[in-house]
Copies of this chain bind each other. A is one copy, B any other.
Amino acid sequence: MSPLNLLAAAVDRIKVPSRDEALAARYAAVRRYTRELAAPLSSEDAAAQSMADASPAKWHLAHTSWFFETFVLKPYRTDYREFHPRFEYLFNSYYRGIGELHPRDQRGLLTRPSVHEVMAYRAHVDKAVLEVLLRDALPPAAVDLLELGLHHEQQHQELLLTDIKHLFSMNPLLPEYRPQPLMAAEAPPLRWRLYSGGIAGIGHAGRGFAFDNEGPRHEALLQPYALASRVVTNGEYAEFIREGGYRDPRLWLSEGWAMVQARRWQHPLYWNHALDAEFTLHGLHAIDPQRPVCHISFFEADAYARWAGARLPTEFEWEHAAGEARIFGQFADQADAELHPRIFTELSSEPMYGSVWCWTASPYLAYPGYRPAAGAVGEYNGKFMSNQWVLRGGSCASSRSHLRPTYRNFFPADARWQFSGLRLAKELHHGT
């Protein structure tokens, strides 16, 4: 019986879960979901790396375990025996405080350890974590790190999907991650929601989990603004293309135009040249004009907004608009989830979350008074605060339970392999 099934049996037997029992249940659920995401992959699929920005699924499986081993088990469980002496080196992503690390662009060469050994590594770590959790033996600092590890793993769940999509898109056989028909969907007309601005509270206030970069909570001054009721669709974006959007330098940031030229961008990442089909995790599908445009860079989002006579919202405008609204939308952990964005509506209500991450006009920066966590885990977020842009709202590849109004995702301006789209914003002038 696997440790996770043992746990499930244990959990069934108990009545009112303690704090650590609840955490253990969530640990088990998150860890199991990662395995489920990897299930459709052959061991070859799981080992390949299609570009330096992406990682093999096997590496995601191992690195997420490394995180618990490195930050929870080794420091807080004195009887812990590491699974393999070289894994500290092999599966360290970027924590230089831990030590030397394997070069990022060579992850696809790690044909050993095998997927099976990595799965054994996961089971070894799971057993050690669940044992210590179920005997309530972790100090609060360790519990916080365990919590961090779960959110870390949820981030890698999404990356596992985006990285596999990129890998499969490079294969002329166009493999399907999950064969599945796509439902028809209709996009409601775009409406503008108006916000009067003023002083807004921004950032996480400290109740419940948040990454360090979501705090401290602080005040920000907003001008009046308008925000679109939904994200931009393929149909709208196709018009931008037809009207010469990719040929007019005046629509682009200088750096973006240089990219368009150098990389010969003419459409979103996974569209074909005929502009009538796109590669998805469910195989090649006709481009549906009613679905959200996706897999565009910050530069493309910015150019589209300029062409549309609008702009990208700042991350503060987005967070202010999201406010206390309920978190609903299209997510990966829903039943029968499509792993391809669609416009999600619920009665007359349109969500701020899910479907596609929205590029904002905000570079990824520290909030006033930001302090990274102490120790090597402090490298988690802070050291990337240059030349990246904030995305907000989550995507069809995110878990619902992973998101918060204050959640800040970030990628370089030329990144296209994430589920990234845009929602328009506008200035509101007095009298408008």
Which of A45, A90, A94: most chain B CB closer than 10 A?
A45
With a CB–CB cut-off of 8 A, which chain B residues contact A385?
A: 253
Complex Cα–Cα for A298 and B111 (A): 30
* Contact with A102, one of B96, B97, B172, B383 (Cβ below 8 angstroms): B172
Partner of A172, one of B42, B86, B167, B219: B86
A94 CA / B386 CA spacing, docked (Å) = 25
> Is A108 in contact with chain B by the CB < 8 A criterion?
yes
Q: Is A353 an interface residue, CB under 8 A from the partner?
A: no
- A317-363 contacts to B, CB under 8 A, are 361, 363
Is A368 in contact with chain B by the CB < 8 A criterion? yes
Set of chain B residues within 8 Å of A429, measured between Cβ atoms:
369
Cα-based distance from A13 to B45 in the complex (angstroms): 44
Report the Cα distance A47→B48, complex, angstroms.
8
- For the complex formed, measure the closest distance between the CB of A389 and the CB atoms of chain B, giving whole angstroms: 8
Copies per assembly = 4
Q: Convert A419-432 into 0s and 1s, putting 1 for each residue whose CB lies closer than 8 angstroms to a CB of B.
A: 00000000101000
Any B CB within 8 A of the CB of A149: no
When A89-B172, A256-B386, A413-B387 are in contact, do A45 and B112 touch as well, CB less than 8 Å?
yes
Which of B44, B106, B257 contacts A111 (CB under 8 A)? B44
Q: Mark A189-223, 1 if CB is under 8 A from B, else 0.
A: 00000000001000000000000000000111101
Which residue in chain B gives the minimum CB-CB distance to A389? B386
Closest to A428 in B: B369
Chain A, range 15-65, C-beta contacts under 8 Å to B: 42-48, 50, 58
Q: In the bound complex, how far is the Cα of B110 from the Cα of A50, in angstroms?
A: 10
User: Which residues of chain A (143-199) have a CB below 8 Å from chain B?
Assistant: 167, 170-173, 175, 199
- Please determine whether A114 and B42 come into contact, CB atoms closer than 8 angstroms: yes
A14 contacts B by Cβ under 8 Å? no
Q: In the complex, how many angstroms separate the beta carbon of A301 from the nearest chain B beta carbon?
A: 12
In the complex, which residues of chain B have a beta carbon less than 8 angstroms from the beta carbon of A102?
172
List of B residues within 8 angstroms of A12 by Cβ: none
Answer yes or no: A270 CB below 8 A from chain B CBs.
no
A44 touches B114 (CB 8 A): yes
The one of B50, B199, B299, B366 in contact with A221, judged by C-beta atoms closer than 8 angstroms, is B199
A250-B97, A386-B256 are known contacts. Are A171 and B108 too (CB-CB below 8 A)? no
Q: Which of B106, B115, B167 contacts A109 (CB 8 A)?
A: B167
Question: With an 8 A cutoff between CB atoms, is A113 at the interface?
Answer: yes
A82 to chain B, nearest CB (A): 15
Collect the chain B residues with CB atoms within 8 Å of residue A111's CB: 42, 44-45, 47-48, 167, 171, 175
Question: Are A110 and B369 in contact, CB atoms less than 8 angstroms apart?
Answer: no
Please measure, in the bound complex, the distance between the C-alpha atom of A113 and the C-alpha atom of B171, giving whole angstroms: 10
Chain B residues within an 8 Å CB radius of A249:
96
Name which residue of chain B comes closest to A364, CB basis: B363
**Whole-angstrom distance between the Cβ of A273 and the nearest chain B Cβ:** 15
Interchain nearest-CB distance for A98 vs B (Å): 11
By a CB distance below 8 angstroms, the chain B residues around A46 are: 44
Chain B contacts for A223, CB-based, 8 A: 218, 368-369
Give the docked Cα–Cα distance between A365 and B170 (Å). Answer: 36
Residues of A within 8 A of B (CB): 42-48, 50, 58, 86, 89-90, 94, 96-97, 102, 106, 108-115, 167, 170-173, 175, 199, 218-221, 223, 249-250, 252-257, 298-299, 361, 363, 365-366, 368-369, 379, 383-387, 413, 427, 429
Besides A42-B112, A110-B171, A253-B385, 18 more A-B contacts (Cβ < 8 Å) are A42-B114, A44-B111, A44-B112, A44-B114, A90-B173, A94-B254, A96-B249, A102-B172, A106-B170, A109-B167, A111-B175, A112-B173, A199-B221, A218-B223, A223-B368, A253-B383, A369-B429, A387-B413
Q: 9 shortest A-B CB distances, which residue pairs?
A: A44-B111, A96-B249, A44-B47, A363-B363, A254-B383, A221-B221, A45-B111, A223-B368, A109-B170
